[in-house]
A and B are shown apart, each in its own frame.
Chain A
């Protein structure tokens, strides 16, 4: 289906706003055609994932947009780049790749994007209104935007994001349409033990299970308890979006489009009901660690902060470390919006004295930051657990934040299995 274009769209295609805007609209309109979207809509904001260097082609694309006079038409934030601009030595790129990654980041800023360099833009002040249409990239940002903020974006890939920003338009399809946002699968968590339901480490595991189980279907989860704060929802969504293609989930009574079960399902009965068991989650948890990892193996590093660590998560890390010095380095990935606050109150120096290495603007699975010798990486992030083996060559072990700190202090795996037995 070819989408119907407005008079404004046709004027942009004809060159009214310059060649970069015309190319951007061609890309948006072609994407609309592939998706089967009937028309384009105005969008309120954009989050760009395409600023991460994967090769010279991405730099060539954005520099072409700059050369052709591109300028964003709506507020636009930037996801991580491949460099830590605050700590240039963190990333072990050769000079040629470093230069190309830097040129790419500079070009996105030159288009008028805010240099936020974070995969948690929603914790850095970019919070579109519930019900508004936006165009966001990066799988965890997309699922958070839809599920927790209740703003509407489809799962957009790199390049569509900046194209939408340059023309202010997006395809009217997928999760922009209210009828595509209702749940079809009910997940009942009420049979899980109260202790597990109270535990933050449940959420990445539940997310990994959800992504593997429902794929692109929309689930509504019932029966969770305890403080279901944004960091927990962020962990759930990030894990679900990396193990599956989840762009939206609901938590009944918590997320904005699911005040109750009827609202979550649009008044329809669930097509499928899954009673969650401890055994399902044990399998999902096991799947987050490399198969060959022994229970008391020596660890080489800990990584936290995918998505980027929040101030509250740093406070929890600080409490667990309690001034003790870790034997294994703890890479904590975050954005400038958090680092500024950690520096202002002196916590940055205290954390670094305990062995925490701050990674800013980027993270350990998208850029070569970990020592190249390989080894065993421990993480509390379902997303890090998912991407670590392929992207870093390290084996991975998943555990709670408390497990990660205990393991970093001991230099070997220390995991509390009691919650999961």
Chain B
């Protein structure tokens, strides 16, 4: 499966597939990467190190700041695969690169296509946006 690389890069990790939009601010703990919204998707699970697949984000314009802090602390997802491109989330990754933090790929892939990847599957992402299931 090939996704569109918006911020290209390579990554490998277990898929965490969310079926509803997430607000990074107010939805992700910037210190740990844990999902925190008790009314949101999968509260208590962590996005750190996961290939995060989700339809879109919602809400706060501070989501870029949460992404930057996750990158600075090494608690960011391994990659973000999103249905609707989100310049706010991508901005956090771009500023992370400016600050010399390790960066992650951001890819666009329609939610229907994301469904081909089971939650928990291990996938590898190539620089051209190819997502391959390893296990």
List residues of chain A with CB under 8 Å of any chain B CB.
23, 26-27, 30-31, 34-35, 49-50, 52, 54-58, 60-61, 64, 137-139, 142, 154-161, 211, 215-216, 241-245, 365, 386-387, 389-391
Q: Which residue of B lies closest to A50 (CB)?
A: B65
Cβ–Cβ contact A158 & B65, under 8 A: yes
User: B44-70 toward A: CB 8 Å interface, digit per residue (1/0)?
Assistant: 000000000000111111111110110
Q: Which residues of A contact B60 (CB under 8 A)?
A: 139, 242
B135 within 8 A of A: no
Q: Choose one: A60, A142, A161, A390; the contact of B27 (CB below 8 Å).
A: A390
Given contacts A54-B30, A58-B68, A390-B36, contact A155 B61 (CB under 8 A): yes
B13 within 8 A of A: no
Q: Which residues of B contact A55 (CB under 8 A)?
A: 30-31, 65, 68-69, 72-73
Given contacts A54-B69, A57-B69, contact A142 B61 (CB under 8 A): yes
User: B1-24 toward A: CB 8 Å interface, digit per residue (1/0)?
Assistant: 000001100000000000001010
Q: Choose one: B21, B36, B95, B101; the contact of A27 (CB below 8 Å).
A: B95
Cβ–Cβ contact B26 & A159, under 8 A: no
Q: Which residue of A lies closest to B90 (CB)?
A: A34
Nearest Cβ in chain A — how far from B1, in angstroms?
A: 21
Measured CA separation A245–B55 after assembly (Å): 13
| Most chain B CB within a 10 A radius of its CB, from A55, A215, A244 | A55
Q: Which residue of B lies closest to A23 (CB)?
A: B98
Measured CA separation A245–B25 after assembly (Å): 13
Q: Choose one: A30, A34, A50; the contact of B85 (CB below 8 Å).
A: A34
Cβ–Cβ contact B37 & A389, under 8 A: yes
Measured CA separation A415–B122 after assembly (Å): 50
Give 4 closest A-B pairs by Cβ, nearest first: A157-B88, A55-B69, A157-B64, A57-B72
> 21 interchain pairs (CB within 8 A)?
A26-B98, A49-B62, A50-B62, A50-B64, A55-B69, A57-B71, A57-B99, A60-B72, A64-B99, A137-B61, A155-B61, A157-B61, A157-B87, A158-B63, A158-B88, A159-B68, A215-B21, A244-B58, A245-B59, A390-B26, A390-B37
Cβ–Cβ contact A159 & B59, under 8 A: no
B129 within 8 A of A: no
Cβ–Cβ contact B87 & A31, under 8 A: yes
Nearest Cβ in chain B — how far from A298, in angstroms?
A: 21
Q: Which residue of B lies closest to A395 (CB)?
A: B38
Q: Which residues of A contact B64 (CB under 8 A)?
A: 50, 157-160
B92 within 8 A of A: yes
Cβ–Cβ contact B58 & A157, under 8 A: no
Nearest Cβ in chain B — how far from A369, in angstroms?
A: 16
Nearest Cβ in chain A — how far from B63, in angstroms?
A: 6
Given contacts A56-B72, A160-B64, A390-B38, contact A61 B99 (CB under 8 A): yes
Cβ–Cβ contact A245 & B99, under 8 A: no
- Which B85-133 residues have C-beta < 8 A from chain A? 85, 87-92, 94-96, 98-99, 101
Nearest Cβ in chain A — how far from B98, in angstroms?
A: 6
Nearest Cβ in chain B — how far from A73, in angstroms?
A: 19
Using A55-B31, A159-B91, A215-B58 as known contacts, list a sample of 18 further A-B pairs with CB atoms less than 8 Å apart, ordered by residue number in A. A34-B90, A54-B30, A54-B66, A55-B72, A57-B65, A57-B69, A57-B99, A57-B101, A60-B72, A138-B61, A155-B87, A157-B88, A158-B61, A158-B92, A159-B95, A243-B59, A389-B39, A390-B40
